[in-house]
């Protein structure tokens, strides 16, 4: 199943035509469905995930085949559906609430690589900018009302995708995506194993608090973003960081055991790469 996901992902991001890209996306989807079906007992949630993802892939295929004035819009909307961006995010919350920690990590990282990479083929700056603003504003607002870890990383992820949308077509896109997914993977691991100290540092790292790595990768996109995007993204990031800090303080207040053993070397390297 993991090999099927990797092969599908490779096919999607390296395909030379849209039929091959669609085939890669569907292979990746079916492999991931087989993986989560072992633990996700709700057939309704599996069906919801399958239908939504297939619909997104179909829009991408239609946009690639038609090659007319609406092609880029269809592809962009299809990618937004697969990524679960606002306003087509309704399906994510029911799905992620039932995933195991390693499945959640794959869902938030590996399953987003293909659609995010395909954003480079989109030539629709107006629609991308609209998605950037909507996801930054709504993601930042909605993360403030989250009480569950899964929901918090989902809505904060929309803010991070907004930063990626602002970096499309630039090499900073790859650096930001790589750093974000690395930090997120380690953070989910720490959360699942109750490593409170490591999770705390990674939350601050993901929130972009200086002098952590997450702060430095946000500085570079600021140099190329337009003057409208910058205050929107910074405001959304501040709301996300506030939600992270609030979560840490509440967790610290109810935590009875607080040791140094859970702060590992991998966390230190990710926090301070330089």
Which residue, 145, 163, 108, is CA-closest to 243?
Answer: 145
Instruction: Give me the mean pLDDT over the 22-35 stretch.
Output: 89
Q: CA 239 to CA 190: how far, in whole Å?
A: 23
Please tell me whether residues 148 and 104 are part of one structural domain: no
Please tell me whether residues 17 and 108 are part of one structural domain: yes
Q: Does residue 263 register a pLDDT over 60?
A: no
Tens of pLDDT, residue by residue over 121-145, are 777 778 888 999 999 999 999 998 8
Please tell me whether residues 187 and 245 are part of one structural domain: yes
pTM of the model: 0.83
Range of the domain at 89: 1-120
Distances (CA, A) of 4 to 10, 18, 132: 10, 19, 31
Q: Residue 68: pLDDT band by 50, 70, 90 thresholds?
A: confident
Q: Which of 63, 85, 120 is the last residue of a domain?
A: 120
Please tell me whether residues 76 and 165 are part of one structural domain: no
Confidence (pLDDT) at 177 = 86
Number of domains the chain contains: 2
Q: Does residue 54 register a pLDDT over 80?
A: yes
Which residue, 46, 66, 69, is CA-closest to 58?
Answer: 66
Q: Which of 120, 153, 176 is the last residue of a domain?
A: 120
Please tell me whether residues 177 and 165 are part of one structural domain: yes
Please tell me whether residues 162 and 256 are part of one structural domain: yes
Q: Which of 71, 95, 120 is the last residue of a domain?
A: 120
Buried b (16+ CB within 10 A) or exposed e, 101-131: eebbbbbbbbbbbbbbbbbebbebeebbbeb
Please tell me whether residues 105 and 128 are part of one structural domain: no
Q: Residue 265: pLDDT band by 50, 70, 90 thresholds?
A: very low
């Amino acid at each position: 199943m993991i090999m099927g996901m990797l092969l599908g992902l490779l096919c999607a991001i390296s395909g030379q035509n849209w039929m091959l890209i669609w085939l890669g996306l569907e292979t990746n989807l079916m492999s991931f469905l087989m993986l989560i079906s072992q633990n996700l007992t709700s057939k309704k949630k599996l069906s919801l995930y399958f239908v939504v993802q297939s619909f997104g892939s179909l829009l991408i295929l239609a946009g690639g085949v038609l090659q007319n004035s609406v092609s880029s819009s269809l592809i962009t909307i299809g990618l937004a559906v697969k990524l679960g961006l606002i306003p087509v995010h309704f399906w994510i919350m029911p799905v992620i609430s039932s995933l195991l920690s390693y499945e959640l990590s794959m869902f938030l990282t590996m399953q987003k690589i293909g659609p995010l990479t395909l954003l480079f083929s989109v030539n629709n700056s107006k629609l991308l900018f609209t998605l950037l603003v909507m996801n930054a504003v709504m993601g930042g607002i909605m993360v403030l009302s989250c009480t569950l870890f899964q929901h918090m990383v989902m809505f904060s992820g929309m803010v991070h995708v907004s930063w990626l949308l602002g970096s499309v077509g630039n090499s900073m896109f790859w650096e930001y995506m790589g750093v974000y997914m690395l930090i997120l993977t380690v953070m989910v691991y720490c959360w699942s194993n109750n490593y409170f100290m490591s999770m705390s540092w990674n939350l601050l790292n993901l929130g972009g608090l200086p002098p952590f790595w997450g702060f430095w990768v946000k500085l570079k996109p600021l140099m190329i973003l337009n003057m409208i995007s910058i205050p929107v993204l910074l405001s959304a990031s501040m709301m996300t960081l506030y939600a992270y800090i609030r979560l840490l303080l509440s967790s610290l207040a109810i935590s009875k055991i607080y040791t140094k053993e859970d702060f590992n070397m991998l966390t230190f390297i990710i926090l301070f790469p330089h």
